Amino acid sequence: MSFQSEIVKWYFVNKRDLPWRETTDPYVIWLSEIILQQTRVEQGLPYFLKFLENFPDVKAFANASEERVLKLWQGLGYYSRGRNMLYTAKYVVDHFEGNFPTAYQDLLKLKGIGGYTAAAISSFSSNEKQAVVDGNVYRVLARYFGIEEAINSPKGQKQFAQLAQELIQDQEPAIYNQAIMEFGALHCKPKSPLCNQCPVQPGCYAYQHQKVEQLPLKLKKVKIRKRWFNYFVGINDDEILAKQRQPGDVWQQLYDFPLIESEQEVTIDDVALLAKVHELFGKNVELTVLESKKHVLTHQTIYVQFFAIDNYIVNFNQHTEIKSVKLTTFKQLPHPKIIGDFIEKHID
C-alpha cells in the first residue's frame, strides 16, 4: 500500500473530532485556519467557538470594530491575524458580495492568507487539489522521504511544496490534507514520535537511518532580545491612565499603561528613571513597586515592572499617546496578555 493510502487509513481510525471538520463553509474554515496558524488545536479551539458565536458569517465579522476583534483575540498572540481578518472580511463583503472565495488563486490574494491557508481553505471547502504544507507536513515528509534540505530555506520550501503536490495527485484532497497533518500532529510528533507503532515505518527513511531526531532540518534560531518595561499605573477616582501601543513594535494597537523602557533592570531610586518619571508625571509623583514579572515571547524576553503612581500630573497635550479613561472602559479594551493578567489581579 502506498504512503498516502496508509496515512489516510491511519486517519480514519485515529482522527480527532474537531468542529471545523464538520463544515465546508469557506468562511468557517477560514476562521479556523487563521486561528490555528502557529497555534495548537487545544489553544485555538475555544477562540474558534467564541469567534463563530460572535460572528456567524463574514458580514457579521466585517461589521465589527477592530477593538472588538482584538478584544476577542486577547491572549491568543500574533494579533496581526485578527487585524488582517477584519480587513479581509470587509474586502470579501465589498468585492465578493459576501461570498467567501474557495479558489486557491483568489484566496492567495487576501490579506493574512498565504500558501498554506489558501491550500487548506480551497481543499477543505471545494476539494481543490492543493497540497497543504504546514509544520506537520514538513516533518512527516522530511522524515519519511529523508529530505535533508532545511524547511525554512527557499530551496527547501520549494522542494517540499513540489513533493507534497505530487503526493496529493491521486488522493481526495480534503481528506488527504487533513490526514497528513493529523498524522504529524498526533503520531509523527516533533518529540517522541510513535515509531514503534507506525504504519509507514518500513518505508521511513529517517527511521531506517536512525535520523528521526535530526529531521526535519531547520536553519538557525534568532537571537532573543532582552527588554525592560517599566509600567506606571495611575488611578484617580474611577479613571486610569492608558496608552495605545503604536505600529512598529510588539502588541501594536493594544492598550497598556504609560511606559518607560530602560536598557537594563532599574530600581525605584534610579536617577535616570526618576528624571523621566518626573518629566512625565510631575515632581510630586510618588512611586510604589507593585509587581515584577518576566514575560517570555518567541523573539524577546521582557522584564516587566509595575509601579503604582500617586499625586501625578500628566500633560496630555504633550503626551498625546496617553489618555485618562474610565476603569470600566479600560477593562473592555484589548490588552496584551501580561496587562490583562495584571488588571485581573490588581484592579477591581
**Longest Cα pair distance anywhere in the chain, in angstroms?**
79
Give 247's contacts (C-beta < 8 A, 6+ positions apart): 253
Q: How far is the CB of 283 from DNA (least distance, A)?
A: 34
Q: What is the number of alpha carbons within 13 Å of residue 28 lying toward its C-beta?
A: 15
Closest CA to 61 of 83, 38, 76, 45: 83
Closer Cβ to DNA, 202 or 247, answer by number: 247
How would you classify residue 79: left for phi > 0, otherwise alpha for psi between -120 and 50, otherwise beta?
alpha
Q: Which is nearer to DNA, 202 or 220 (CB)?
A: 220
CA pair distance 54, 101, nearest whole angstrom: 21
CB of 205 to DNA, least distance (A): 17
- When binding is defined by CB under 7 A, the residue of 138, 160, 231, 312 that contacts DNA is 138
Name the residue among 220, 218, 216 with its Cα closest to residue 137: 216
Query: Taking the complex as a whole, how short is the minimal distance between the CB of residue 312 and DNA, in angstroms?
Result: 27
Minimum CB distance to DNA smaller for 6 or for 33: 33
- 182 belongs to the binding site for DNA (CB under 7 A): yes
Cα–Cα distance list, 214 to 99, 123, 146, 200 (Å): 44, 31, 10, 18
Spatial separation of the C-alpha atoms in residues 141 and 23, rounded to whole Å: 27
Based on the shown chain and the rule CB under 7 A, indicate whether residue 115 belongs to the binding site for DNA.
yes
Please identify which residue in 22, 42, 263, 348 interacts with DNA, judged by CB under 7 A: 42
Q: In the complex, what is the shortest distance from the CB of residue 219 to DNA, in angstroms, rounded to a whole number?
A: 7
How many residues form the binding site for DNA (CB under 7 A)?
64
- Comparing CB distances to DNA, the nearer of 161 and 327 is 161
Catalytic residue among 33, 42, 67, 291: 33
Q: Which of 20, 27, 307, 342 binds DNA (CB under 7 A)?
A: 20
Can you tell me which of 58, 89, 120, 277 binds DNA, judged by CB under 7 A?
Answer: 120
Site for DNA, residues 233 to 262, rule: CB under 7 A: 248-252
- Tell me how many degrees the CA angle 100-105-106 measures, rounded to the nearest 5: 30
CA distance 152 to 158: 10
Site for DNA contains 125 (CB under 7 A) = no
Phi/psi at 278 (nearest 5 deg)?
Answer: -65, -40
Give the span between the Cα atoms of 328 and 237, in whole angstroms: 12
Q: How far is the CB of 20 from DNA (least distance, A)?
A: 6
Smaller CB separation from DNA, 86 or 120: 120
Sketch the per residue contact string, 276 through 305, with DNA: x for CB under 7 A, - otherwise: -------------------xxxxxx-----
Going by C-beta distance under 8 Å and a sequence separation of 6 or more, which residues neighbour residue 155?
A: 149
Q: Which residues pair with 239 in a beta bridge?
A: 236, 326
Binding DNA (rule: CB under 7 A), the pick from 55, 79, 144, 176 is 79
Q: Is 33 a catalytic residue?
A: yes
Cis peptide, bond prior to residue 216, ω within 30 of zero: yes
The residues pairing with 310 across neighbouring beta strands, listed in sequence order, are 286
Give the cell for residue 226: 532582552
Of 45 and 274, which CB lies nearer to DNA in the complex structure? 45
The yes or no reply on residue 146 touching DNA (CB under 7 A) is no
Q: Residue 101 interacts with DNA (CB under 7 A)?
A: no
Which residues are annotated as catalytic? 33
Q: What residues line the site for DNA (CB under 7 A)?
A: 18, 20-21, 32-33, 36-43, 75-80, 84, 111-118, 120, 134-136, 138-139, 153-154, 178, 181-182, 184-185, 190-192, 218-222, 225, 248-252, 295-300, 336-338
